Amino acid sequence: MIVLETNNVTKRFGGLTAVNEVSMTLYQGDVLGLIGPNGAGKTTFINAVSGLNPPTSGTVKMLGEDTTGLTPEKMCRRGLSRTFQIPSPFPKMTAIESVMVATIFGNDPGTIINPVEHAREMLDFVEFPMDETVVAEQLNTVQLKRLDLARALASNPKRLFMDDLASGLSEGELNDIMRIIDKISKKGISILMIEHIMQLIMAVCNRLLCIQFGTKIAEGSTQEVANDPKVASAYLGSEDDS
């Protein structure tokens, strides 16, 4: 079943075309990796799809409903949540308070009976490594990304965008993230993840979407896209580039 699709999504900033007519499909149960060189337009694309910076043209549909240009909060209420490449927590709030905010405002009123317990469950689910009373401004980048993931899950999404969640992780922490992504997928949440660590991509993704200079150059199974000469050229450069 198709749970999210884009058709020719384009995002321009003045005369710059950052995303150029990208069409893609996210299926139920997917762990879809969004890959491409730095500056390819990956984050801009998910910003456009999720409503943070709406598309200049093209359409976004969730479960067949046209959601193009809806605000992030409306997209969240329709079951789409996300993390950010650079987390922006409430610096003076504790970890559990931060997740409670997402719990209360990310769900329909009355859906969550006990927001405190729900927030605690989300922190436990992502294996948050600190005490729940730690203040966000005291956390390092890796800890903030784990908190950001707990916040994203607090709205009980059916679709989850993750932006560069694994950057800066040690080998042991990378294995932890693989396990957590597997747990998320087993909850029935379809995942679109931007990632640069190919070890992680190859381990958890069943499909890949690759973009270069804002344009889709490949989409398909993980092995198909990983072995596509256009993708290798995008990352390594062709002989003509040397």
Boundaries of every domain in the chain: 2-79+157-241, 87-156
pLDDT at 237: 61
Is the Cβ–Cβ distance between 123 and 132 less than 8 Å?
yes
Is the Cβ–Cβ distance between 6 and 22 less than 8 Å?
yes
The mean pLDDT values, 10 residues at a time, for the chain of 242 residues are 98 96 97 95 97 97 96 95 92 97 93 96 97 97 94 97 89 91 97 93 96 96 94 69 36
Q: 208 pairs with which residues across the strands?
A: 33, 220
Q: Measured between alpha carbons, how far is 28 from 206 in angstroms, rounded to an integer?
A: 12
H or E element, residue 31: strand 31-35
Tell me: domain 2-79+157-241, CATH 3.40.50.300, correct?
yes
